[in-house]
Amino acid sequence: MTQAVRVRFAPSPTGPLHIGGLRTALYNYLFAKKHNGDFILRIEDTDQNRFVSGAEDYVVNALKWCNIPFDEGPGTEDKKGPYKQSERKELYKKAVRTLIQKGRAYYAFDSSESLEKHRVSHEEKGKTFIYNWHNRLKLENSLSLSKEEVQKRIDNGDRYVIRFLMVENGGVENFINSTDLIRGTLRVDLNLLDDKILFKSDGMPTYHLANVVDDHAMEISHVIRGEEWLPSLALHHQLYIAFEWKTPQFAHLPLLLKPTGKGKLSKRDGDKLGFPVFPLDWRDPETGKVSPGYKEAGYVPEAVVNFLALLGWNPGTEQEILTLSELIGLFSIEQVHKSGARFDPEKNKWFNQQHLQHIEESVLEQQLIKDAKAFDIVVSPEKAQKVVRLVKERASLLTELWGLSSYFFMDPEGYDAKAVRKQWKEGTPEVLTKFLTFLKSASLSEPSNFQAEFKTWIADESISFGQIMAPLRLCLVGKLSGADLFEIICFLGHKTVTSRIQKALQNI
């Protein structure tokens, strides 16, 4: 029987979920759903010093907003849980005891000062100090000390850590070959690896131990994570061997690069260039400073997910605009790229603009109604629907909708000076006054009918399109941009159009 696909996203709650972490979560989700598997959220909170309150809720809310829900995780039915490492301490203790019994882990009492001394003395000889087969018997640990001495120190309450015994001896044939689904075979010289700490002196497991123990206990079939964990692969591989557990398959995702393509994308890049690197607004609990999120900046989750999915992977076709279910259908981990993916904020906006044209219009309408409220303007659902259809094509962000359509609900606050200089001619007031008379008897119930009536009228009056369209737009919108003028006129109605023209005639 083939093993069921179970993948996990395992963030440490040390701050808000960065866009890179979100992509890791997304790839895990796509992979799980593609193979009818489970997507698990595990909170890796063993490092108490780096714990940030609110970070766990933030991850949960961000995944929810992106519509990539986890099947198991904090708050779900406890199938293989608990899903927070701080609630699984007993398991790690038991696991490390097993390793000690198997002779693959040992107590080490070296103080940080004495380790520092070794480091310095090695450096003086032009060597690098590695706590492994090379040095371990010269150091203070349960391999070099007598059983009685070790027990005495433990009973005494001396501080100790528990280290992994990497390889028994320093033979030359100590390479391991492990495969990565994205990178192929990786060859690592175990002689160069150190005896990593598995248990810290504060009685907490390190990331390495807890991560491997949990992946095994939660029956994770594939570990899909960021490239920064590639250097840990050999150690994790060795831990599985030492425990005599089946090794999951690994896939290390490429980095997200700065818009320049040089270096890893950071929060500072976002601050500098004015784009969010977090899914939701994040308020730092210590400083109170808010870092912007995609949601609040006017992005829709459909676009964020689509854009992120294509940062480091593509389905091998030209099609770029894809729904979540299309992404699931097309996703393949083997097609993920090895090299870093450049983050392009403009492209991100383009994806958003494209998705705004396809998603439920009610989302856009609600945003418009909400943003109008800030100006004390109540927009009815019917009007919101009409206006959204007229302006959405020009909106890259949800938050731009109000700016693109406020003239449907408010008189212009001023008139674009440059446009006035260019388009407001000597004869303009006369043309507009004639238009006011024509308007009185024109029907505004249907923009296309009105347009036809208008065309006949200007022909009869020998008024050119150029003479009237731009001044009319200036009167109604205040500038030369905006939706179709006939649509605007029919939406505003006789009274508002008349008053705006009269106001402009007085003020320009």
Name the residue type at position 345.
P
| DSSP states along 91-158 | HHHHHHHHHHHTTSEEEE---HHHHHHHHHHHHHTT----SSTTTGGGSSBTTTS-HHHHHHHHHHT-
Active-site hit among 93, 200, 267, 434 = 267
Question: How do the residues of the chain divide into helix, strand and coil, expressed in percent and rounded to 5?
Answer: 50, 10, 40
Stretch that binds ligand GLU, among 8-16, 25-33, 164-172, 400-408 (CB under 6 A): 8-16
User: Is 12 an interacting residue with respect to ligand GLU (CB under 6 A)?
Assistant: yes
Report the C-alpha gap between 52 and 486 in whole angstroms.
55
Give which of 13, 8, 18, 4 is closest to 278, Cα–Cα: 18
Nearer to ligand GLU, 248 or 412 (CB): 248
The nearest distance, CB 165 to ligand GLU, in angstroms, is 22
The nearest distance, CB 104 to ligand GLU, in angstroms, is 21
Give which of 437, 504, 434, 498 is closest to 471, Cα–Cα: 504
User: Would you say 74 and 43 are in contact if contact means Cβ atoms under 8 Å apart?
Assistant: yes
Nearer to ligand GLU, 85 or 467 (CB): 85
Contact characters 249-288, ligand GLU, x per CB under 6 A:
----------------------------------------
Beta bridge partners, 163, equal 106, 197
- Residues sharing a CB contact under 8 Å with residue 187, sequence separation 6 or more, in sequence order: 175, 176, 177
The nearest distance, CB 330 to ligand GLU, in angstroms, is 24
Nearer to ligand GLU, 330 or 341 (CB): 341
The nearest distance, CB 11 to ligand GLU, in angstroms, is 5
The nearest distance, CB 243 to ligand GLU, in angstroms, is 16
Q: Where are the alpha helices (DSSP H) in 199-291?
A: 207-217, 233-243, 267-273
Stretch that binds ligand GLU, among 10-18, 51-59, 347-355, 416-424 (CB under 6 A): 10-18
User: Is 110 an interacting residue with respect to ligand GLU (CB under 6 A)?
Assistant: no
Active site residue 495: no
Positive or negative torsion for Cα 182, 188, 193, 197: positive
Stretch that binds ligand GLU, among 9-17, 127-135, 263-271, 410-418 (CB under 6 A): 9-17
Quote the tokens at residue 347. 């492209």
User: Is 438 an interacting residue with respect to ligand GLU (CB under 6 A)?
Assistant: no
The nearest distance, CB 242 to ligand GLU, in angstroms, is 18
Quote the tokens at residue 432. 């507009």
Site for ligand GLU (CB under 6 A): which residue of 5, 6, 7, 10? 10
Nearer to ligand GLU, 8 or 500 (CB): 8
Q: Considering only residues 185 through 244, tell me which ones interact with ligand GLU, judged by CB under 6 A.
A: 211, 225, 229
Nearer to ligand GLU, 11 or 447 (CB): 11
Quote the tokens at residue 334. 């083997």
Cα→Cα distances 41→44, 57, 223, 225, Å: 10, 12, 12, 13
Question: What residues are labeled active site?
Answer: 267
Binding site residues, ligand GLU, CB under 6 A: 10-12, 44, 211, 225, 229
